[in-house]
Structure 1
Amino acid sequence: MTPQALHQSRLKILDAATDVVRAKGYAATTVDDLCAAAGVTKGSFFHHFKSKEEMVLEAVAHWNTWTDGIFAAAPYASAADPRDRVFGYLDFRRDLLDHTVPQFTCLMGTLVQETYATHPAVRAACDRGMSSHVAILTRDIEAARLKYAPDAAWTAESVGYFIQAVLQGSFIFAKAKESAAVARGNLAHLRRYLESLLGSPDQNPR
């Protein structure tokens, strides 16, 4: 097998993992499941990865690279006003709810709920990935705070974590109810809360 073919088979496994684990969870996902979804042999899997855990750690890194690119290329990311970027992020998240439940939920959120006490390396990788996403979001929140609420007592980081907590909790309810309805309602409430902090997007800065 050529180096390019090896690389492609590795990517197929990592892509499959992001879908299968979000749908079935870590423990229920078998190597056979991953091979079937990726269209590769078990031998190919173990050529690339020593274990399911090693593969999942690489899948988390793969997920972060992929999602970072999606959010960076989203329309809201190019808005000139930081408040527009913050609310645009919420709108983008809302639009993602049009997909199926496994497709809009978070790989890291799924993993950490199940593995935080049993697989410390997976927990730590999820923590780094989710915290990195919060840090990116925090930059826009802080810029919006300085422009629209410079005297506010809250920190941009705390709001960033709150946004992600609402999203991750919404994903849990979406799985429980097999519907995005609660998640949509939560995002609407989150928007109203952020408007209480930053004003609505159509307001002028101070």
Structure 2
Amino acid sequence: MNAQVLNSSKTRLLDAALTVIRTQGYAATTVDDICHAAGVTKGSFFHHFKSKDELALAAADHFSQMADGIFSNAPYQAASDPAQRVLGYIDFRAAMLARQIPEYTCLLGTMVQEAYMTHPAIREACDRHISAHAGEVAKDIAEAKRLYAPKAKWSPESLAFYTQAVLQGAFILAKAKQDSKVAAESVAHLRDHIETLLTPTTKTK
């Protein structure tokens, strides 16, 4: 089997993991499920990964690289005003809610909810990637804070993590209710709150 075919089968397994785990959860997902979704044999799976846990670690990296590409090329990145980039980021996340639930929910959040006590390596990988994404959001928040809320006591890092907390919580509610409307409403409240924090005429906190 040549390198191109091997790389193709590995990518198919990783892409399948993103879909299957976000659809039915990490614990309920089996190697057979992923192989079936990827259209590869179990022999091919075990050529690339020793276990489902090893696949999960690779899938976390794969998901994060995919997300990095999407967000780094998103339209809001072109805004010159950092506050508009922050609000544009939230609008971009809100627009994703028009998709099916498994298509917009976070693989990292899905896995860490189940694995944080039982699979330390998976928890650490999810934490690393979620924190890295929040760190990118914090860069624009920090620039906007310097311009519009320099005396505010909150930190850009804490506000960036707050955005992720609301988004992950919104995903959980959407799953629970099987309806994206509740998630969209939560994200709208998030936008209103951050817009208030970054509006110069409002009282800083």
Secondary structure class of the residue paired with 2:162: helix
Identity, % of aligned pairs? 55
In the alignment, which residue of structure 1 is the partner of 2:158? Answer: 158
In the alignment, which residue of structure 1 is the partner of 2:75? Answer: 75
After TM superposition, give the deviation of residue 195 of structure 1 in Å: 1.7
Please tell me whether residue 97 in structure 1 is matched to residue 97 in structure 2.
yes
Please tell me whether residue 37 in structure 1 is matched to residue 74 in structure 2.
no
Structure 2: stretches of 5+ with no match in the other structure: none
Deviations 1:4-24 (A, max 9, x none): 110000000000000100011
Secondary structure class of the residue paired with 1:28: coil
After TM superposition, give the deviation of residue 161 of structure 1 in Å: 0.6
Equivalence map 1:105-184=2 (5 Å):
105-184=105-184
Structure 1: stretches of 5+ with no match in the other structure: none
In the alignment, which residue of structure 1 is the partner of 2:3? Answer: 3
After TM superposition, give the deviation of residue 153 of structure 1 in Å: 0.9
**How many Å separate the matches in 1 of 2:131 and 2:116?**
15
TM-score under structure 1 length normalisation: 0.96
**How many Å separate the matches in 1 of 2:48 and 2:189?**
44
After TM superposition, give the deviation of residue 192 of structure 1 in Å: 1.2
After TM superposition, give the deviation of residue 49 of structure 1 in Å: 0.4
Root-mean-square deviation (CA, aligned residues, Å) is 1.0
**How many Å separate the matches in 2 of 1:14 and 1:156?**
33
After TM superposition, give the deviation of residue 32 of structure 1 in Å: 0.5
**How many Å separate the matches in 1 of 2:111 and 2:24?**
10
**How many Å separate the matches in 2 of 1:12 and 1:139?**
33
After TM superposition, give the deviation of residue 77 of structure 1 in Å: 1.2
After TM superposition, give the deviation of residue 196 of structure 1 in Å: 1.6
**How many Å separate the matches in 2 of 1:199 and 1:92?**
20
In the alignment, which residue of structure 1 is the partner of 2:12? Answer: 12
Secondary structure class of the residue paired with 2:154: coil
- Where do 4+ consecutive residues of structure 1 move more than 6 Å? none
Deviations 1:44-100 (A, max 9, x none): 000000000001100000111000000001000121110010000010000000000
2:175 corresponds to which letter in structure 1?
K
Number of aligned residues: 201
Secondary structure class of the residue paired with 1:153: coil
TM-score under structure 2 length normalisation: 0.96
